């Protein structure tokens, strides 16, 4: 999965190009501009910033759309009096991003039904799988990709969950640790006990052997505070496009410091990078509520797994929500 960041300069460059192409249409240039929702209004604002003279030459007619119970766009809505402004005019429908394409298709059809002479369309970001391809667009991204635009700053990846931007709050825990891959020179180090027999019986050598010789993609990462190993996580990429978290453990004296959450966050980051739809794991019964707090859910109709530690429950977490299940 690729992440595309379109900063202010990039958005202005696309806006300047679009304005030039719209002006090149001459007397067929659309005079009624229809922004869809909030992102459409932001695109309209950027277009007017790069060519302020257009503000007196165009008529904005904002559009919204109703959604069904699955949050899919269904019916386009215009404000009262829109028909009189649209009938007989060339119009430009615009949005910031087109994913499924159904919302823009709905608005284009509605504008045509209201009597538009011609309908043009534009989006800054277009998903490759969209059912609708507009007249103009900026960036085409793959189905597994995501795009961020009109950001005042570009966010760094991090182990803490504190949001950036206007809602930023200082994290409660300081990430004064690092995560690294298990290496051959670690095999002589003693492995700490986490309290689960199923994990404590394994050595660093066992994990390293699986990582080097496994017939599937398998990784193990260590969390270190200074030079002390405080926890670890292992995961593998499975056929069918999902990530299996094989183990996650934190040294007893280091529990409650957010290390397990950071390790899980790193596993989920890898799942997104691989384009996985979801991650799965087996959680011991007494820890299920902690995973639920991190957004994991029990897999329905799957029997618990009984090991010498106790009962384990199958859990999963959606990673890429826009993908359709087969």
Residue 224 predicted with pLDDT over 90: yes
Distance of CA 193 to the CA centre of its chain: 35
Distance of CA 99 to the CA centre of its chain: 12
What's the mean per-residue pLDDT of the chain? Answer: 86
**Domains of the chain by start residue, with CATH:** 3-152 (3.40.50.2020), 178-318 (3.40.630.30)
* % of the chain beyond a pLDDT of 90: 55
Average pLDDT over residues 27-41: 93
Q: How far is CA 63 from CA 19, 39, 40, 54, 127, in A?
A: 21, 11, 9, 20, 21
Specify burial of residue 262 (Cβ count, 10 A radius: 0-12, 13-18, 19+).
Answer: buried
Average pLDDT over residues 129-142: 92
Identify the weakest region by mean pLDDT among 58-62, 71-75, 149-153, 233-237: 71-75
Which pLDDT band holds residue 23 (cuts at 50, 70, 90)? Answer: very high
Q: CB within 8 A of 268, min separation 6: which ones?
A: 279, 317, 319
Distance separating alpha carbons of residues 159 and 260, to the nearest angstrom: 10
* % of the chain beyond a pLDDT of 70: 89
More confident residue, 69 or 317: 317
Residue 292 predicted with pLDDT over 70: yes
Average pLDDT over residues 153-176: 63
Distance separating alpha carbons of residues 175 and 214, to the nearest angstrom: 32
Q: Residue 111 is encoded by which pair of tokens? A: 């504008």
Distance separating alpha carbons of residues 122 and 136, to the nearest angstrom: 5
Taking the model in full, what pTM does it have? Answer: 0.63
Distance separating alpha carbons of residues 326 and 322, to the nearest angstrom: 13
């Amino acid at each position: 999965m690729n992440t595309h960041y379109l900063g202010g300069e990039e958005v202005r460059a696309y806006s300047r190009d679009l304005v030039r192409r719209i002006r090149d249409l001459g007397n067929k240039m659309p005079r009624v501009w229809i922004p869809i929702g909030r992102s459409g209004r932001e695109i309209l604002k950027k277009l007017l910033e790069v060519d302020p003279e257009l503000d007196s030459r165009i008529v904005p007619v904002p559009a919204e759309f109703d959604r069904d119970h699955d949050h899919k766009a269904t019916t386009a809505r215009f404000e009262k009096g829109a028909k009189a402004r649209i009938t007989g005019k060339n119009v430009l429908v615009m949005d910031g991003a087109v994913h499924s394409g159904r919302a823009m298709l709905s608005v284009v059809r509605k504008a045509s039904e209201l009597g538009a002479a011609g309908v043009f369309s534009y989006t800054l970001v277009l998903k490759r799988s969209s059912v609708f391809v507009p007249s103009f667009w900026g960036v085409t991204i793959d189905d597994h990709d995501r795009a961020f635009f009109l950001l005042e700053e570009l966010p760094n990846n991090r182990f803490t969950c504190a949001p950036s931007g206007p809602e930023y709050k200082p994290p409660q825990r300081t990430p004064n640790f690092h995560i690294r891959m298990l290496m051959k020179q670690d095999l002589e180090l003693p492995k700490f006990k986490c309290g689960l027999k199923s994990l404590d019986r394994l050595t660093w050598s066992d994990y390293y052997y699986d990582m080097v010789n496994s017939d599937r993609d398998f990784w193990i990462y260590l969390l270190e505070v200074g030079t002390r190993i405080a926890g670890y996580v292992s995961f593998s990429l499975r056929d069918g496009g999902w990530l299996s978290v094989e183990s996650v453990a934190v040294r007893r004296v280091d529990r409650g410091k957010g290390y397990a959450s950071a390790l899980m966050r790193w596993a989920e980051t890898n799942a997104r990078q691989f384009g996985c739809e979801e991650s799965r794991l087996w959680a011991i019964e007494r820890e299920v509520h902690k995973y639920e707090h991190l957004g994991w859910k029990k897999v329905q109709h799957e029997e618990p797994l009984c090991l010498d530690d106790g009962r384990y429950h199958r859990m999963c977490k959606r990673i890429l929500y826009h993908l359709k299940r087969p």
